[in-house]
Amino acid sequence: MPGVSLTIDVGALYESHGDWLRKWLQRHTRCGHRAADLAQDTFCRVLETPGSAPLREPRSYLSALARRILIDDIRHREVERAYLAAHAAGSPNADALTPERIAEAAQLLDAIVKLLEALPDNVRRAFMMIRFDGLRYADAAAVLGVSDRMVKRYVAQAYAHCYAIAYSD
Amino acid sequence: MTMERPDPAMPDPAMSDPAIIERAALWAAQLATDEATQADHDACEAWCREDPRHRLAMDRMRGFDRQFGRTDGLEREVIETLLEQRSQDTRSGKARRFGGLALGLVVLAAGGWLAAQSLTVRAFFPEYATQRGEQQTVTLTDGSRLTLDTDAALDFRRSDDSRTVSLFQGQVLARVAREKGALNAPHPFIVQTGDGTATAHGTAFVVRRDEHATTVTVIESAVRVCLAPPAAGRCADLLPGDRARMANGRLTRLGRVDPDVAAAWSEGWLAADDEPVTQVLDELNRYRARPVSFDRSALADYRVSGSFPLSDTDRALEGIVRSTGLALSSADDGALVVGRTK
């Protein structure tokens, strides 16, 4: 079974490079706990990425992966901060905000932002108006100063882009 | 069982055909506002029926919609703010804010960054999902059929060496299609959760993902279950009626069950074979919009046997109450309460 040989590889990888990776991450985060978490995430990612069993230079492979995960983590924190800031400004009722609620919202928002952030401005604005603000095509067209048909094409473009990001492997 | 089935030797096809994605994206745009007519919806449905790949692409588009629809007004503002910020950052080259890391991002973006991203992103946009109280049977592109139980979410991928269902939550019955056309080694059919995997060596099995554990029950043939990392490598082989639980890196065999009882939910029945009534009520509550309440310790000694309809959970509740000699009443707020007769 192909899955089995992969898991053994990752086990061995963890044995021989786990400590090194944690130290590498600690240098970049200056926080032991966070480094340990991110190292864990890195090995999970190795397992999740099919056919990625690292080959000749495991350390450069791992550090490249860890670098992406670190960037991801920084961006995720940014989302969390933005969510908390909006909440603080919008509603004085802090009781509704549990750690679970924050984590869940931040994950959802992070995922959505990842899908949409690389879109060209007009496409993104059209999509937000139609999909999130509930505008009709004619209204969005008036705001953007283009035809209805053009807005519809923008929205389709946004959907295709989401698809490409989510199902690119 | 007969069903239209694509050539099983074909690789997971929906992604590789840009024409299908483009068409599905156009449909999604067409149906995105309340201006869409019934005729539009019917036309889209007709297109989906033409080819399972059309259906898959469309299901994925709807998966995005479901998640976009989950956001409230405040969250939308946050999304808008973040997107504005980031698009400005990109324009002014302010990505440098990530220090020495920014260059790495740019370089990696050229090679495979998206592929590494896609799994984490995808968990939030399941292709198939059911509401509370809803069940749904879908035919996958390989011809296998999945029955999703109440409040479930999953994803299906087909790669060169396997067929994988990622179960994010809830319960699923998999009826695996045999790959008749495959002359080479068949593609194993795997259901994976955060706790571990279940690999089919035959046809039918149930995987259930609760908050802290995954339970696998074999209905027909055999299944191999394996723990997820870091305990990876620990596996067990299960036969019909066998059950195993995977949680926190531990794999435990549970008592055997009647396979028919274990799959009864997929036929719309809640089946109990001399089970504690509290357990059956917990199970029923998974399907109810308004859960019924009960005093766990007061009902601890009551047991129940029988089959109760999931399509009408009020009627199921009456049936459970009747067969146990318990009583059903309404609380002040209108919620139903099961208790002992006075």
Percentage of chain B with pLDDT > 70? 81
**Mean pLDDT to the nearest integer, B204-224:** 92
Residues of A (4-23) whose Cβ lies below 8 Å from B: 4, 7-8, 10-11, 14
Any domain includes A144: yes
More confidently predicted of B94 and B326? B326
Do A43 and A79 fall into the same domain?
A: yes
- State whether A159 and B119 contact (CB < 8 Å): no
The per-residue pLDDT for B90 is 59
Domain that holds residue B49: 1-70
* Domain assignment present for B114: no
- Answer with the one of A51, A76, A101 that is the final residue of a domain: A101
Does residue B127 or residue B260 have the better pLDDT? B260
On whether both B57 and B172 belong to a single domain, the answer is no
Phi, psi dihedral angles at B123 (to 5 degrees) = -55, -25
- Judgement on whether residues B239 and B157 belong to the same structural domain of the protein: yes
Q: Are residues A50 and A1 in the same domain?
A: yes
Q: Is residue A83 part of a domain?
A: yes
B65 CB within 8 Å of a chain A CB: yes
- The candidate with the shortest Cα–Cα distance to A7, out of A62, A65, A53, is A53
User: In degrees, to the nearest 5, what angle opens at C-alpha B327 toward C-alphas B322 and B316?
Assistant: 45
Shared domain check, B290 and B232: no
Domain C-terminal end among B260, B276, B300: B260
pLDDT at res. A59: 82
| Short-list A151, A117, A133, CA closest to B84 | A117
pLDDT in tens, A28-59: 887 888 888 888 888 887 776 655 555 567 78
Neighbours of A92 (CB within 10 A): 8
Structure tokens at A40: 């864990």
Local confidence band at B128 (pLDDT 50, 70, 90 cut-offs): confident
Same domain membership, residue A53 and residue A127: no
Burial, B331: exposed, middle or buried (Cβ in 10 Å; 0-12, 13-18, 19+)? Answer: exposed
pLDDT band at residue B178 using 50, 70 and 90 as cut-offs: confident
Mean pLDDT of B175-200: 78
Question: Which residue has tokens 């531990």?
Answer: B250
Which residue in this structure is represented by tokens 């009960």?
A: B294
The reply to whether A73 and A33 lie within a common domain is yes
Q: Does A81 touch chain B (CB under 8 A)?
A: no
CA atoms within 13 A on the CB side of B113: 14
Structural domain total, chain B: 3
Mean pLDDT of all residues in A85-95: 72
Nearest to B83 among A111, A124, A168 (CB): A124
Q: What is the DSSP string of B172-228?
A: EEEEPPP-TT--SSPPPEEEE-SSEEEEESSSEEEEEE-SS-EEEEESSS-EEEEEP
Q: Say whether pLDDT at B51 is over 60.
A: yes
Q: How confident is the model at residue B71 (pLDDT cuts 50, 70, 90)?
A: confident
Of A12 and A37, the structure prediction assigns the larger pLDDT to A37
What confidence score (pLDDT) does residue B16 get? 58
Per-residue model confidence (pLDDT) at position A48: 67
Among chain B residues, the shortest Cα distance to A114 is held by: B121
**From B33, B117, B124, residue closest to A108, measured CB to CB:** B124
Q: What is the pLDDT of residue B303?
A: 94
CB–CB of A121 and B119 under 8 A? no
Same domain, A6 and A83: yes
- The verdict on a CB contact (< 8 Å) between B60 and A152 is no
pTM score of the predicted model: 0.55
Measured on CA atoms in the order B89, B93, B96, B98, is the torsion positive or negative? positive
Nearest to A74 among B35, B77, B98 (CB): B98
Kindly state whether residues A126 and A84 are assigned to the same domain.
no
**How much is the pLDDT for B180?**
60
Band of the pLDDT at B149, cuts 50, 70, 90?
very high
Mean pLDDT calculated for residue range A93-104: 75
CA distance B256 to chain A (A): 27
What pLDDT score was predicted for residue A62?
83
Same domain, A23 and A53: yes
Share of chain A above pLDDT 70, in %: 84
Residues B212 and B275 in one domain: no
pLDDT confidence bin for A110, thresholds 50/70/90: confident
In-domain check, residue B108:
no
Contacts of B269 (CB under 8 A, 6+ apart): B307, B308, B309, B310
Out of A101, A131, A161, pick the residue that ends a domain.
A101
Contact between residue B329 and residue B339 where contact means Cβ atoms under 8 Å apart: yes
Tokens (6 digits) for B184: 């080479």
pLDDT at B181: 54
Tell me the residues of chain B between 132 and 191 that have a Cβ less than 8 Å away from chain A. 159, 161-162, 188, 190
pLDDT at B59 over 70: yes
Same domain, B20 and B142: no
For the residues B311-339, what does the mean pLDDT come to? 90
The predicted pLDDT at position B26 comes to 92
> What's the rounded mean pLDDT across residues B115-143?
73
What is the domain-level CATH number for residue B289?
A: 3.55.50.30
**B116 pLDDT above the threshold of 50:** no
Q: How far is CA B101 from CA A68, A73, A75, in A?
A: 9, 12, 12
Mean pLDDT of chain B: 80
Task: Report pLDDT for B109.
Answer: 30
pLDDT of residue B215: 95
Amino acid at B166: S
Taking CA atoms, B335 is separated from A130, B6, B178, B248, B329, in Å, by 39, 48, 47, 35, 8
Question: Which of B178, B161, B195 minimizes the C-alpha distance to A2?
Answer: B161
pLDDT one-digit tens code per residue, B233-292: 789 999 999 999 999 888 999 989 888 888 999 989 999 888 999 999 999 999 998 899
Expressed as residue numbers, the domain containing A146 is: 118-169
Q: Count how many domains chain A has.
A: 2
Q: Which residues of A touch B57 (CB under 8 A)?
A: 163
B106 at interface of A, judged by CB pairs closer than 8 A: no
Chain B residue at shortest CA distance from A150: B29
How is B81-109 classified by DSSP, letter by letter?
HHHHHHHHHHHHTGGGGGTTHHHHHHHHH
**pLDDT of A126 higher than 80:** yes
> Nearest-5° angle of CA B104, CA B15, CA B42?
135
What is residue B313's predicted lDDT score, i.e. its pLDDT? Answer: 92
What mean pLDDT do residues B1-25 have? 57
Distances (CA, A) of A97 to A83, B138, B231: 11, 37, 34
CB-based contacts of B232, cutoff 8 Å, min separation 6: A7, A10, A11, A47, B226
**What does the block give as tokens for B166?**
């990622």
